[in-house]
Amino acid sequence: MASQDHTDIAPQIGYDDFMKVDIRVGTIVSAEPFPEARKPAFRLVIDFGPQIGTRKSSAQITVRHSLDELVGRQVMAVVNFPPRQIGPMRSEVLTLGFPDAEGNVVLASVTQDVPNGGRLF
């Protein structure tokens, strides 16, 4: 399987395929440096509400985001990928973002507060 260039449009899928990816909103409750990561990253703890709870994530967002702006921010993440070991940490969700013009990650977030755990549709 060839790796996909992030600028290419992915193959067309049906709505049922889209619904297999569980994207939820959560609030960052903790953000710390993650010096053990291979690429510069922060270690996040995100609260997805009572049904899902808190989950850990390694996020390569150090260029466009600072630690002091992250706590309290609502972000989107895929919550149904298998956990992934990143250095000494087990990343439980994939925090989502988009590349800026230089390829640095900008977090995907909501523009108004919504309940934690809400699913993207």
Other residues' Cβ atoms within 10 Å of the Cβ of residue 93: 28
pTM here is 0.91
Residue whose C-alpha is closest to residue 67's, from 91, 42, 96, 102 = 42
The neighbouring-strand residues paired with 78 are 23, 94
34-52 per-residue burial string, b: 16 or more CB within 10 A, e: under 16: beebeeebbbbbbbbeeeb
pLDDT digit string (tens) for the chain, length 121 residues = 344 456 789 999 999 999 999 999 999 999 999 999 999 999 999 999 999 999 999 999 999 999 999 999 999 999 999 999 999 999 999 999 999 999 999 999 999 999 999 999 9
Q: How is domain 15-107 classified at the architecture level of CATH?
A: Beta Barrel (2.40)
- Residue-range domain boundaries for the chain: 15-107
Are the C-beta atoms of 7 and 100 separated by less than 8 Å? no
